[in-house]
Chains A and B, each alone.
Chain A
């Protein structure tokens, strides 16, 4: 497997450098998506009727292949990293809005009533009661968004080598060096798993009130936030 880490020079980067670019291209959009999703979810929560059309629109947007998005944006933002990151932010938004809405909705009515009776206004309730309880669902959404983001960045390779580690895939085909493709797939997989683990750790930190896996059995009616989304 020599040549595994031998990056072709036309990619203008070392392996570690590619990882850095990839992480930037993948994670910044997720963060942007989260920032945008919070207010949108809040609106959907407040105005129930908004949710179904928003859900329908986002599902359709999610279905549109990333490549098509990239191509359309080339006219506006050229063949740059930004072209890749904008659609990725949109995809993150698409995953995170339902996650936040579901999470906030899972707060029991009695809890909210108690909070209101204690005199917490709507904003305080949202920030101090609903979001913390919704945290597991939100983190679950972040895990899905991050995994798909890391995966989709590679498609950027098709528009002027903006795919970071994805560029290795194109190079593998061009130079007939399968080990580069293996490198790309494995590295992206490991990065995704690492980010996933970090997010799980984040959830554990944020929710000291939740029973840990393997302690007492959870009531069958409770929904485990993971996987209850896409």
Chain B
């Protein structure tokens, strides 16, 4: 099959493994963009999701914000940002963060809301402070679902971070964009494969984090 030939050719070309346009370099750049965007989105989405989930208030506002954010086209936001701010890292981060916040926010909210109320009631009756209840009782049980929201956001970021290349930045999108303009399909397919590999690696990382962080008492349910 054509595509597989391309993949083979791309990875076996030793020139592709060195230099500023080499696979390790591009991979690393892509990883950086993704991690930064995920960190920012989590820093916003997690606390808001946890708080609204615990108190139960603001669910409607949350749904509205999430839907509005989902409606904004990433590519459009990128071009707009570049036109208004100019080239650089910031205009790339904006669409990525906007993309990633809804899944984190909404899933975290849902996760905390769906925790069995009985242990929460028992904890309150024992005299636990609200903050302690959230972090010691609700979060450990909600963790699997929260992680799935983060994972979903991570995958979307990894995929969309390719747009960085559109504004002359690096990352794996470089191969795809360059390949498109140079009519070099090897590069396009190679770049896409690398993104897929990174996505798989992300899944693996989240699986490992889940095994480590989620209590065996919760995993069984």
The verdict on B8 contacting chain A, using a C-beta distance below 8 Å, is no
Q: Is the CB of A185 within 8 A of B160?
A: no
Q: Kindly state the interface size class of chain B when it binds its partner.
A: 35 or more
Q: Is the CB of B173 within 8 A of A224?
A: no
CA distance A226 to B109 in the complex (A): 11
The verdict on B26 contacting chain A, using a C-beta distance below 8 Å, is no
CA distance A229 to B151 in the complex (A): 11
Q: Chain B, 184-221, contact with A by CB distance < 8 Å: what is the 0/1 string?
A: 01001101100110111011000000000000000000
Q: Is the CB of B159 within 8 A of A185?
A: no
Q: Is the CB of B107 within 8 A of A228?
A: yes
Report the count of interface residues on A (CB-CB < 8 A). 52
With contact pairs A63-B195, A65-B160, A193-B68 given, residues A71 and B179 touching in the complex (Cβ less than 8 Å): yes
A-B interface contact total, Cβ < 8 Å: 165
The verdict on A120 contacting chain B, using a C-beta distance below 8 Å, is no
From B79, B109, B155, give the contact of A172 (CB < 8 A).
B79
In the complex, how many angstroms separate the beta carbon of B46 from the nearest chain A beta carbon? 14
From A60, A72, A154, A193, give the contact of B189 (CB < 8 A).
A72
Q: Is the CB of B192 within 8 A of A65?
A: yes
The verdict on A181 contacting chain B, using a C-beta distance below 8 Å, is yes
From B3, B70, B176, give the contact of A65 (CB < 8 A).
B176
When C-beta atoms are compared, the residue in chain A nearest to B198 turns out to be A63
A-B contact pairs, 19 of them (CB 8 A): A56-B203, A63-B155, A63-B195, A64-B196, A64-B199, A65-B162, A68-B195, A152-B75, A155-B75, A157-B75, A159-B180, A166-B75, A169-B75, A178-B83, A185-B77, A188-B71, A188-B76, A189-B68, A226-B63
Beyond A59-B203, A63-B159, 7 additional contacts (C-beta under 8 Å) are: A72-B3, A147-B71, A166-B76, A169-B79, A189-B71, A223-B110, A230-B103
Binding site for A on B (CB under 8 A): 2-3, 60, 63, 66-68, 70-77, 79-80, 82-84, 102-103, 105-107, 109-110, 113-117, 145, 152, 155-156, 158-160, 162, 166, 173, 176-177, 179-180, 185, 188-189, 191-192, 195-196, 198-200, 202-203
